[in-house]
Chains A and B, each alone.
Chain A
Amino acid sequence: MRSDRSGGTHPGTAGARSAVAEPDPPRALAERQAAPSRVSGLLGDGEAEIELRGVSKRYRSRDRETLALTGIDLGIRRQEFVALVGQSGCGKTTMLRILAGLIQPTTGEVTVARRPLWHGDRRDDDALRKLGLVFQDAHLFPWYTVEDNIGLPLRLRDTGKAERRRRAHELCELVGLQGFEKALPRELSGGMRQRVAIARALSYAPEILLLDEPFGALDAMTRDKMNMELQRIAGATSATVVLVTHSIAEAVFLADRVVLLSARPGRIRSITEVDAPHPRALDVTAEPGFQQKVLALRAQLAEDEERTGDEPRFERAGGLSE
């Protein structure tokens, strides 16, 4: 399934491949001063499994306002792997938390499987059930064994003990933790804890897996290994995956589409399609096409950092227009 869709002939995006907001050469200098124009990532009718439409998020504190995200339009297909990248403070984590229903957007609408995520101030339980979330830290509950941590989402939904056990065992096998069912989190390494967190997110078989820099706290070797594992798990569960990362190489390696956000205000700067079929081996990273994409994205990121570099982060005073 996963490799089928890499043909790159989706009607909604065929012409929009690598839809970078390219400024005309004479205007390049002026463009550098202003925020880059925004890119719409909306798909054709009924094509999107998850959709953000006109989403913005404004944080208010006593004396200032921060526009974390503005004008976000993005559709994500069923079983697609999308990576969100951008400099720190660009709003990629905010965007993922909005997708997860942890933050309510200031404007705009989020739909999951065509169901709105929010009804007023209440969240749609059916939509939430389709989402599994993994954070940068595993956030396991130290009083529960691996098995009970994995089974927690099921327990909250009143699943019986025997079924929870069975499912935990199955997931331990999937994430490579067989034999550790009875271990306590304190007995595990960082990588193993993150595996438990992934298993927990998968426990009620969500259709969508949202990951917020899941391996950011791990060392480089473990990180590479976990990325391969993530690819395998995504394939095995045929889940739609949205991954937030600050590593462009990681994003290009794993994703079908890489969404680059620019900072202050956070908006979609470009969307890059990566065609290589899944599963991808590590030697993909040596191919010229791969490296070209990584370099192009790095250049965009550097430009964005230069544009915003001398402004104090998170401290833009109020009065930003959307």
Chain B
Amino acid sequence: MRGPLGRFGPLVSTVVAIVVTVLLWKLVIAVFDVSPFVLPQPEKVVGGVGDLAGSDGFWSDVRVTLTETLVGFLIALVLGLGLGTLLGRIVWLEQALRPVIVASQVVPKVALIPLFIIWFGFGMTSKIIIVALLSFFPILLNVILGVRSVDAGQRDVMRSLNATRWQTFRRLELPSTLPYILAGMEVGIVFAVVGAVVGEYLGGDQGLGYRVVTSLNNLEAETLFAVILVLTLFGFLLYLAVVALKRFLIPWHDSAIDHTRAST
């Protein structure tokens, strides 16, 4: 179903949301006479992003946070795929390990971050481990689900064709599991950014999260808002990358279909 705005609907709503936010923002400042130390003017924040991008070591901070996020995420992906496939196939093992999995899920992992900093120092290693830990579980659980979800009837089709194990994996199991893997990645990448930033501001000496702490300590509200804006953009771009991967890998799947453009 195509609305009156056609396929520009999402674009229009984004613009409207930004304009409304900025107007409300300015209204709050004007009505309550908010100090610029608490809430700077939106145009100052945009200017702050410009200053930030030109400031010393900004790009190296972006690189640090990006490295931590991506390396940690890749570790989580590899481990999640490996362990998820194993647990998905071996039901008794998954049942035996279920209490452990549930327990490690309900532990507020952010609370463990100081521990990792004590163990692995203030450098990138501790952040990579935090990122990996945070993004590991959504990937693991989705992979287990995906491996289990391979349709029994489709398996029969492959069996009746005397397909080899490899053929069954390549032609059936992998494509059936991909939507689940990508759903896990979609959640995982968001958690990865959270892990990197929280890790940096709890115990870091570089990175965008560290910038949040320093601008807070210096009471630079403008810079603080600018960093938040940059982090939002940062997380958004990574998320978009996963969505793009999804459109590329599973264009046939419902979750990858642009419903505003589908004809049925």
Contact = CB atoms under 8 A, between A and B. Distances in A.
Do A and B assemble together? yes
A137 B155 CA distance: 13
Interface string A270-306: 0000000000000000000000000000000000000
A139 B151 contact: yes
B92 to A, nearest CB: 15
Interface stretch (B5-13, B64-72, B160-168, B186-194): B160-168
A256 B48 CA distance: 84
A181 B144 CA distance: 34
Given A186-B252, A187-B264, A139 B162 contact: no
B175 A123 contact: no
Nearest to B172: A141
Contact of A131 (B156, B160, B163, B254): B160
Interface residues of B, number: 20
A130 to B, nearest CB: 12
B44 interface: no
B63 interface: no
A35 interface: no
A108 interface: no
A297 B175 CA distance: 45
Contact of B153 (A129, A139, A153, A186): A139
A187 B251 CA distance: 14
B154 interface: yes
Interface in A211-245: none
Contacts of A152: 157, 161, 171
B161 A139 contact: no
Contact of B156 (A135, A153, A155, A184): A135
Contacts of A100: 160
Nearest to B156: A102
A101 to B, nearest CB: 7
Contacts of B250: 143
B171 A133 contact: no
A156 interface: yes
B226 to A, nearest CB: 44
Contact of A141 (B154, B162, B254, B264): B154
Interface string A129-161: 101010101010111100000001101100000
A187 B158 CA distance: 23
Chain A contact patch, size range: 20 to 34
B109 interface: no
B160 A101 contact: yes
B89 interface: no
Contacts of B159: 102
B253 to A, nearest CB: 7
A133 B156 CA distance: 10
A19 to B, nearest CB: 31
B18 to A, nearest CB: 35
Given A135-B153, A152-B171, A156-B167, A143 B252 contact: yes
A139 B171 contact: no
A267 B10 CA distance: 62
Interface in B126-171: 151, 153-154, 156-163, 167, 171
Interface of A: 100-102, 123, 125, 128-129, 131, 133, 135, 137, 139, 141-144, 152-153, 155-156, 184, 186-187, 200
6 contacts: A128-B161, A139-B151, A139-B153, A139-B154, A141-B171, A143-B253
Given A143-B175, A152-B161, A156-B158, 16 more contacts: A101-B160, A102-B156, A102-B160, A123-B162, A128-B162, A135-B157, A139-B156, A139-B157, A141-B171, A143-B253, A152-B157, A152-B171, A153-B161, A156-B163, A156-B167, A184-B252
Interface of B: 151, 153-154, 156-163, 167, 171-172, 175, 250, 252-254, 264
